[in-house]
Amino acid sequence: PKGGQKTVLIMMSNTGGGHKASAEALQQAFREEYGDQYKIIIVDMWKEHTPAPFNTLCDSYSFLVRHSILWRLTYNMMQPRPLHRSYFAAVNAAVSRQLSAAFDAYDPDLVVSVHPLMQHIPVRVLASRARARGEAPPPFATVVTDFTTCHNTWFYPAVTRCFVPTAFCRSLALENGVPADKITVHGLPIRPIFSKRLPAKATLRRKLGLVNDAPAILLVGGGEGMGKLEATVRELDARLQGSAQVAVICGRNKKLLNTLRSTVWPGGSHVVAVGFVDNVHEWMAAVDTIITKAGPGTIAEALISGLPILLNGNVPCQEEGNIPYVVENGVGAFETDPVRIADIMATWLGPSPEARAEFAAMAKRSKALGRPRAVYNIARDLAGLVESAKELAVEVAAAAAAPARRACCS
Ligand code: UDP
């Protein structure tokens, strides 16, 4: 009935924007590489296919992450394996019937999880569903979308494959019992558009309303426009006095956008503010450096774009390891105070030849660390999993048929 087309079910959840973005990046890479050979279905399994209260995971996350002490407690309490395994075992009893029915409906040839809470239960549900049907479960892959510090629930030894973005994540996967031959390090799956050739910087700057005769700083705070963005623009304006221009992507933070647009900057800086945009790749290619919270997506995109990165904050727990990653790899710095952020920018973009050389070296190291092909490499390996499962199914069918043939010939 599927006409040879294979179905890949990607399970995500909108806890933060990154999981959905990674799922969509994989979907685009599949489409580019394999056309309609694969049907990619992206589903929030918790929201769509579990009963209350489990279907309110997103709301609980938004609440917890805004109250960092609560988030730290929840995150750390669930770290020990015996604890989260017993928790998942108990939850499994409440959600397995509905999840199993969803797997029946989607009938996937491959299941991919891009979420830390979607390994243990789905793998078990798929296994018991397959046992009941007397067939092998579809292959199951985890694609980790945190960059360095990852919650232990990302890692479940029984998965078929586990894709991680960095060597640090690989070591966490190993510590959590995932066998080495199941772990692949490709990088984060970033939208394919980031690996395409773009118009020249000057052309992009004209298009985006930036000027060509001053260095440009991009300021972002993830999809929600989080952090001290307004204070940072004010300090940059005061410190740089118009010697550099500032582009601010406010994301979904409408209040910030309105404030920035209606402000006259006393230092005379050229400030361009936009809301949620779908061309972050163009903004990154048009500027010289970025100030951002330590979001994995934005960091990976900035590396692909070869930008020195000034991190100005982080979501507690899962973004913490991204700070030493940026600093120790010599691609940027960490500073939360807007006044000192402006000082660092004044040095990075200042006239001193040593500072210029160091800034250029940072940009070069950043580009070298970027993984623009990661999304394609992951998609190719995922397609490989579907193919090997197909071959295995043919072998199993042949083996099952063999005794029958022998019996009929004797
Ligand atoms: N982003 C976007 N448009 C915007 C603002 C952000 O497409 O106006 C994207 C950005 O390119 C990145 C993601 O949103 O891919 C933010 O991910 P990150 O992991 O940095 O932070 P999160 O918002 O998930 O906390």
Looking at residue 15, what is its pLDDT?
73
Ligand 1, pocket-test mutation among 280, 281, 299, 301, most atoms within 8 A of CB: 280
As for ligand 1, residues whose beta carbon falls within 6 Å of it are 16-18, 21, 222-224, 249, 251, 276-278, 280, 295-298, 301
Alpha helices in 35-80 (DSSP H): 45-49, 57-66, 68-77
How high is the mean pLDDT of the chain? 93
Query: Quick one: which atom of ligand 1 is closest to the CA of 145?
Result: 19
Instruction: Give the HSE-up count for residue 377: Cα atoms under 13 Å, Cβ half-sphere.
Output: 15
pLDDT class for 14, splitting at 50, 70, 90? confident
Between the two ends of the chain, the Cα-to-Cα distance in Å is 37
Q: Which 3 state secondary structure label does DSSP give 250?
A: coil
Residue type, 303: L
Note whether 139 and 385 are within 8 A (CB). yes
- Tell me the pLDDT tens digit for each residue of 68-91: 899 899 999 899 999 999 989 999
| Sequence-ordered list of residues with C-beta below 8 angstroms from that of 110, at least 6 positions apart, any chain | 6, 7, 8, 9, 138, 139, 140, 141, 382, 385, 386, 389
Q: Is the pLDDT of residue 406 over 60?
A: no
Q: Is the pLDDT of residue 299 over 60?
A: yes
Tell me the average pLDDT across 333-341.
98
Q: Is the pLDDT of residue 132 over 90?
A: yes
Tokens of 311: 């991190």
Q: Which 3 state secondary structure label does DSSP give 247?
A: strand
- Tell me the pLDDT tens digit for each residue of 48-74: 999 888 888 878 888 887 888 998 999
Query: Quick one: which atom of ligand 1 is closest to the CA of 296?
Result: 19
Which amino acid residue places its CA nearest to atom 1 of ligand 1?
A: 223
| ipTM of this complex | 0.98
pLDDT class for 407, splitting at 50, 70, 90? very low
Which amino acid residue places its CA nearest to atom 7 of ligand 1?
A: 278
